[in-house]
Amino acid sequence: MRKRLLNAWRLGLKELMSLWNDKVLLIMIVWAFSGGIYSAATATSQELHNAPIAIVDEDRSVLSGRIADAFYGLYFRLPDMITEARGDAGLDAGLYTFVMVIPPDFERDVLAGVQPSIQVNIDAMRVSQAFIGAGYIQNIVLGEVGEFVQHRRSEAASPITLAPTVMFNPNMTSSWFGSVMEIINNVTMLSVILTGAALIREREHGTLEHLLVMPLGAFEIMLAKVWSMALVVWIAVGLSLYFVVGRVLDVPIAGSIPLFMAGTLVQLLATTSLGIFIGTLSRNMPQLGLMMILVVLPLQLLSGGMTPRESMPEVVQNIMLFAPTTHFVSLAQAVLYRGAGLDVVWPSLLAMAGIALAFFGASLLMFRRSIAAQG
């Protein structure tokens, strides 16, 4: 057994040298855990920020002026006062996300209790801003109308008082969530790509046949690819978590980083084994890319990292319990967001270990059959 492990060690060093000479994969790894993390955390935002808005004021009253003045910086840009003819053209040209039309006699109808309507035209191609901004506009208009009519801003009395306390990310900054979840997704994606590509590269260059004539078994060859590619991703995760997330984005980590890194190592055993399995089924790089779409994307979308598992059908939730990414996302969120310790996340860690061993065994069996067929 010692000799087999030594063979796997030497073959793993060869894999690291091959990866070092593959500049494309190196650039992809560096970008995924640096610029990719930063852009994913900052380029997309779930908050409304300086949304462009225009107002068509056909009333020219005190109330319509107050409504226009209520839209100010941070959430909206200062509104452009335009004519109705320019509204559709501004939306088509992408100049405005919202165009609000205040009808004639709006103030008079409000005071008379007629309940007039304000038309809001929205550029729905900007999906996030359109959805959030519509609610902001409604609240601003209702607040100004209520204050104008009653001479004070009144709120309906509630039978209870809610006092929400946000333990992690109290300001609900989207970059804090996005950066950590991007690291979690990259762990799965890159580990599968690297191990699958390493196996395909051996087959395309003909070096796999050279390995088969040596006194090496499928276990040594597979173990070498698993530990070497897992080590690369594991180191990249640690550096990204410390420098990009912790220093550049200034995201506070609530829990134990060593515990998260231990969970990442178990996750990498499962995903690198999955990469070997996919690489065994694929005959070339294009096929590997297509298999990635069919396998990796569902693992990321249904693991609970992008959408809550509670919102999925129960049958999907039960099926995804057999995926390592589900337990990894649960462990990562508990440790990094809520500061959970080993006494809390050990069930997820144990489930990941069991799934990882099952994946490794299945991949080894498939790899042995593939080698036997070639021989």
In the sheet with 53-57, reading across from the earlier edge strand, the strands are: 80-81, 53-57, 98-102, 119-122
Q: Is the pLDDT of residue 154 over 60?
A: no
Distance between CA 25 and CA 14 in Å, rounded? 16
Class of domain 53-150: alpha beta
| Amino acid, single-letter form, for residue 109 | D
> In terms of DSSP H, where are the helices of the chain?
2-21, 23-32, 35-42, 62-69, 84-92, 106-111, 127-150, 174-205, 207-212, 218-239, 257-281, 285-301, 314-319, 324-332, 342-374
Render the burial of 318-356: b for 16+ CB within 10 Å, e for the rest: eebeebbbbbbbbbbbbbbbeebeeeebeebbebbbebb
- In angstroms, rounded to a whole number, what is the distance separating the alpha carbons of residues 66 and 285? 61
* Mean pLDDT score across all residues of the chain: 84
Question: How much is the pLDDT for 267?
Answer: 93
Q: How confident is the model at residue 180 (pLDDT cuts 50, 70, 90)?
A: confident
Q: Hey, what amino acid is at 265?
A: L
Domain ranges of the chain: 2-43+172-374, 53-150
Quick one: pLDDT band at residue 345, thresholds 50, 70, 90? very high
pLDDT per residue over 277-287, tens digit each? 898 888 888 88
Res. 165: pLDDT tops 80: no
Quote the pLDDT of residue 349: 93
pLDDT tens figures, 5-21: 887 888 888 888 888 88
**Predicted pLDDT at 148:** 85
> Cα-flanking dihedrals φ and ψ of residue 101, to 5°?
-110, 115
Question: What share of the chain has pLDDT > 70, as a percent?
Answer: 90
- Percentage of residues in the chain with pLDDT exceeding 90? 24
Residue with tokens 């839209």: 71
Determine the pLDDT at residue 101. Answer: 93
pLDDT (mean) for 104-109: 90
Q: How much is the pLDDT for 126?
A: 67
Distance CA 9, CA 15 (A): 10
Residue 93 DSSP code: T
Residue 293 confidence (pLDDT) = 86
Q: What is the mean pLDDT of residues 335-349?
A: 90
* Overall pTM > 0.85: no
Q: How confident is the model at residue 158 (pLDDT cuts 50, 70, 90)?
A: low
For residue range 241-272, what is the model confidence (pLDDT) as tens digits?
999 988 888 888 888 999 999 999 999 999 99
pLDDT interval class at 156 (50, 70, 90): low
Confidence tier at 348 by pLDDT (50, 70, 90): very high
First-to-last CA distance in the chain?
24
Mean pLDDT of 331-354: 91
For residue 356, name the pLDDT band (cuts at 50, 70, 90). Answer: very high
Determine the pLDDT at residue 44.
60
Nearest-5° Cα angle at 273, 270 to 277: 130
Give the three-state DSSP class for 120.
strand
Q: Assess whether pLDDT exceeds 70 at residue 171.
A: no
Question: Does pLDDT of 236 surpass 90?
Answer: yes
- 244/319 Cα distance (integer angstroms): 34
| Close Cβ partners of 153 (under 8 Å, ≥ 6 residues apart) | 143, 146, 147
As given in the structure block, the two tokens for residue 277 are 């399995």
